[in-house]
Amino acid sequence: MSAGADAASSGELNPMRQIRIGKVIVNMGLGEGGEKLEKAMTVLESLTGVKPCPRKAKKAIREFGVRKGENIACIATLRGDSVDEFIKRAFESLKNKIKESCFDDYGNVSFGIKEHINMPGTKYDPRLGIYGMNVCIVLERPGYRVARRGNHPGKIGAEHRVNKEESIAFIKERFGITLIGKEE
């Protein structure tokens, strides 16, 4: 085989094999609604630049005073250009270190931030308080729309899915993070 065929077979030149960030989901679970939820939604909107949506409780938990259908969390989904800037700030709040267990087998990266004021450029406002959040980064390749489309959805082949090793390599290269808990 020629050198060009070797590069093409390894996926370096094929645009359909390039990994990209599909979306970033930021979730704040509070366990209660009301004024605390409104403040958390304000904080989440200031961090992401996207209007968050409230999420309802799926079942009643009497010990915690949660009723089914009550708003207890908020979520914001980021796509497009604002994703890179938010992810850089989120990783900086973790000092660019992340555990290997944060990566799953399907190309997703999930981690938590204990206090939103740890993110660079965020100032503490005593009227709002301090909130933690979960961040989930979904990595995908071009062609994943086939599985999500409404008319005749198809399956994504196992070779086309992003695996754990590929997602680790992508995040390391793009954002310069280091893994905790892996001997290298």
What's the chain's average pLDDT? 86
For the domain that residue 81 is a member of, what is the CATH number? Answer: 3.30.1440.10
- 95 assigned to some structural domain: yes
Q: Residue 28: what are its φ and ψ, rounded to 5°?
A: -120, 110
Residue with tokens 């005073």: 65
How does pLDDT run across 24-73, given as a tens digit for each residue?
999 998 877 788 889 999 999 999 999 999 888 777 877 777 778 778 88
In sequence order, the 6+-apart residues with CB closer than 8 A to the CB of 139 are 19, 20, 21, 22, 107, 108, 109, 162, 166, 167, 170
Q: What is the mean pLDDT of residues 142-161?
A: 91
CA distances from 41 to 31, 50, 56, 83, 93 (A): 14, 10, 14, 19, 20
Task: Tally the domains of the chain.
Answer: 1
Between these two residues, 5 and 71, which has the higher pLDDT value?
Answer: 71
Does position 1 have pLDDT exceeding 90, yes or no? no
Answer yes or no: is 141 within a domain: yes
Q: Exposed, middle or buried, 43 (CB in 10 Å: 0-12/13-18/19+)?
A: buried
**Segment 73-100 mean pLDDT:** 92
Residue 115 lies in a domain: yes
* Region 84-91 average pLDDT: 93
Instruction: Indicate whether 97 belongs to any domain.
Output: yes
Identify the pLDDT of residue 182.
59
Whole-angstrom distance, CA of residue 169 vs CA of residue 166: 5
| Nearest partner of 164 among 148, 144, 146, 182, judged by Cα | 182
Residues 66 and 72: beta-carbon distance below 8 Å: yes
Residue 55 within any structural domain of the chain: no
**Phi-psi group of 54: left, alpha or beta (phi > 0 → left; psi -120 to 50 → alpha; rest → beta):** beta
Question: With pLDDT > 70 as the criterion, what percentage of the chain qualifies?
Answer: 92
Q: Residue 9 domain-assigned?
A: no
pLDDT in tens, 89-111: 999 999 999 999 999 999 899 99
Task: Examine residue 161 and state whether it is found in any structural domain, yes or no.
Answer: yes
Query: Which structural domain, as residue segments, surrounds residue 162?
Result: 18-25+75-180
Residues 142-150, mean pLDDT to the nearest whole number: 90
Across 116-145, average pLDDT: 90
Task: List the Cα angle 29/87/176 in 5-degree steps.
Answer: 135
Inside any domain, residue 35:
no
Extended strands (E) in the chain: 20-29, 53-56, 71-78, 97-99, 108-113, 133-140, 178-180
